[in-house]
Amino acid sequence: MRVDLRSDTVTVPSTAMREVMSQAPVGDDVYGEDVTVNSLEERVAALFGKEAGVFTPTGSLANQLAIRMLVSPGEELIAETNSHVVRAELGAAATFSGITTRTWPARRGLLNADDPMEIARPSAGPYLVSTTAIAVENTHNFGGGTVQPLDQIAKLHNEASKVGIALHLDGARIWNAHTASGVAFTEYAKYFDTVSVCFSKGLGAPVGSMMLSTKEKVTKARVWRKRYGAGMRQIGILAAAAHYALDTNLPLLAEDHRRAKFIAEKCHEAAASVVNPSEVDTNIVGLDLSQLPVSSAEFAQMVKVEGVLISSLGPNFARLVTHLDIDDAAMTYAAEVLAAALKHALVSK
């Protein structure tokens, strides 16, 4: 059996999703004439209580458009040390927008509003860099799918607003946060000036994200989307997949969370130090291998031989992600392989 747990981006569109895509009404999006993507932008903006949205091919572009609307060249965005916008977007904010960044560290990426506010430097004058926006990632990918606490989000909004700092929500996996917490999308989004969401991770669409904000900011973002080379034509084919994902796959995320918890529990039983199952909030399981005599790359190779694919994201940190294409049989097999490999590593210690 082959079980791919490297990411929830590896899902393959279902036959039903492909059929919906093939039948989608389309038009030229540059002219604003693609009715399917127009309806998706309106639908998702309403879902999050925002005025407008703009479809993008990637989550990174959605993030970059958002922070470009909030931070001018030479100004500063701050984010958690291991956040996607800082670690996994290849310096795009600096390269394309002249934006500088600073970070604060947080265990599991968990937001404590005092942390960013402690390092924020709004209106720093003519000789120092001024902080003009803070980015929060929910769920936090490299933190292990951490769901951010709503009370800390609200507190951060309150404190940042007092000093004129804007907030951006990297909500690539906000669908998982909503499923795990029961917090409404509008409740999360109301604290942020801009929001990005992704359709190609847990929701299982083949491609696509969206940046949400006011009509004014979205209108400006469309110009920058074109400038970055992402003006698209008959993209209703892609938007149809996102519509289908929202209709059909969103309710299935709870199963991904259940399966991730199961795998975490089996790994914990084999080697208690590698993961705390109570900290597995959603569909991501991080394995801390620092107490074992194998590197994450070596461990990933050990389980790959048995058909289980996971990601090595640091010398001692491995990550696995459950998704739509993982059923209970795959879950059970992966858990058995991972547990056996952990036990073997402990014996050889």
Query: What tens digit of pLDDT does each residue of 75-87 get?
Result: 999 999 999 999 9
pLDDT of 228-248, one tens digit each?
999 999 999 999 999 999 999
- Considering only CA atoms, which of 349, 334, 347, 340 is closest in space to residue 270? 340
Could you count the other beta carbons within 10 Å of the beta carbon of residue 216?
11
Here the tokens at position 308 are 């289980």
Number of helices and strands (H, E) in the chain? 14, 12
Place of tokens 């039948």: 23
Q: Where in the chain is the domain with CATH 3.40.640.10?
A: 13-250
The CATH code belonging to domain 13-250 is 3.40.640.10
Instruction: Answer yes or no: is pLDDT of 348 > 80.
Output: no
pLDDT of 7-52, one tens digit each?
999 999 999 999 999 999 999 999 999 999 999 999 999 999 999 9
Cα separation of 222 and 79, whole Å? Answer: 24
pLDDT score recorded for residue 349: 58
- Considering only CA atoms, which of 158, 133, 3 is closest in space to residue 72? 133
Q: Calculate the average pLDDT of the chain.
A: 97
Cα separation of 206 and 209, whole Å? Answer: 10
CA angle 177, 181, 185 (to 5 degrees): 60
On whether the CB atoms of residues 194 and 133 are closer than 8 A, the answer is no
Q: Where in the chain is the domain with CATH 3.90.1150.10?
A: 3-7+252-347
Assess if CATH 3.90.1150.10 describes domain 3-7+252-347: yes
- Residue range 178-205: average pLDDT? 98
